Amino acid sequence: MKIFKERIKLSTEILKNKGLSFIPTMGGLHKGHISLIKKSKKFKRKILVSIFVNPKQFNKKDDYRNYPRTLNKDIKILEKLKVHYLFIPSYEEVYGFKPKKKIYLDKTSNKLCGFFRKGHFKGVVDVVNRLIEIVKPKYIFFGKKDYQQLYLIKKHILKRKIILKVIECETIREKNGVALSTRNLKLMAKEKKIASNIYHYLKNIKKNKENRFDSKMINKFKKKVLKLGADKIDYLENYNIKKMVKEMNINKNTKLFIAYFIGKVRLIDNI
């Protein structure tokens, strides 16, 4: 595996490749990231992974400072998976140039996480846009756990007519049902149990097609989630994933979206 820290050296190296498979990450690699890499192998392209903890998508400085960083462990994982290239840029390497494409931020960026984390999705789309311009991949891989992020990146790529195929990958979960996330590293065993109970409760809500998501029922569901051990809930909504709009009824095009805190750890999921 070749490791690059400078975008110019990386660009020179990958110029000879006819399009790469690209997995952008913030490190703290887990089985979810590994599943993206394994899926990328099926596309018979050289694989490039980036690790960059992007400060512009954090709306709290403490959250950025405390974000889990496990670079040495990450490198070992990537070497074992026989990834071809690893890009570990500094802030200046990512933000020290003017991208050719202006970012497009769909109006749905103000909903759900966008409402509670001001500027978050602008930071996400900006950094992905910049990394795409550096890497110029043929395929880019994202998990469905961060579904709103995936939706907005796809909108940007479509609107800006970027020639690139977005590959959506299923959410990978721990045995207890909790969606894998780098933030899970900050949870104690008893807190993981709380997250597991919340997941199974929401899964049962989703199974009952007669549940309606009016304000009365949503409040009832939220109270139960708090009773199960969540310390705070940012949102719990039923959304149409094709349009990213609220829906009253559960159907094949809807998912339950939740963001909640256990202690200081913020967890998100869609079920």
pLDDT digits (tens, 9 = 90+) for 167-195: 999 999 999 999 999 999 999 999 999 99
pLDDT surpasses 90 at 128: yes
Out of 33, 84, 156, 200, pick the active-site residue: 33
Question: What class, spelled out in words, does domain 182-270 have in CATH?
Answer: alpha beta
> How does DSSP classify residue 179?
B
pLDDT tens string 42-83 = 999 999 999 999 999 998 899 999 999 999 999 999 999 999
Q: Give pLDDT, residue 59.
A: 87
Mean local confidence (pLDDT), 258-268: 97
Whether 33 is catalytic is yes
Average pLDDT for the chain: 96
Q: Where are the domains of the chain?
A: 2-169, 182-270
Q: How many residues does the chain have?
A: 271
- Convert the pLDDT of each residue in 202-252 to its tens digit: 999 999 888 999 999 999 999 999 999 999 999 999 999 999 999 999 999
Q: Which of 265, 269, 271, 241 is nearest to 60 (CA)?
A: 265
CATH dotted code for 2-169: 3.40.50.620
**pLDDT of 18:** 82
**91: number of Cβ within 10 Å:** 12
Measured between alpha carbons, how far apart are the two ends of the chain, in Å? Answer: 36
pLDDT value, residue 15:
86
Residue bearing tokens 């094949």: 252
Query: Is pLDDT of 85 > 90?
Result: yes
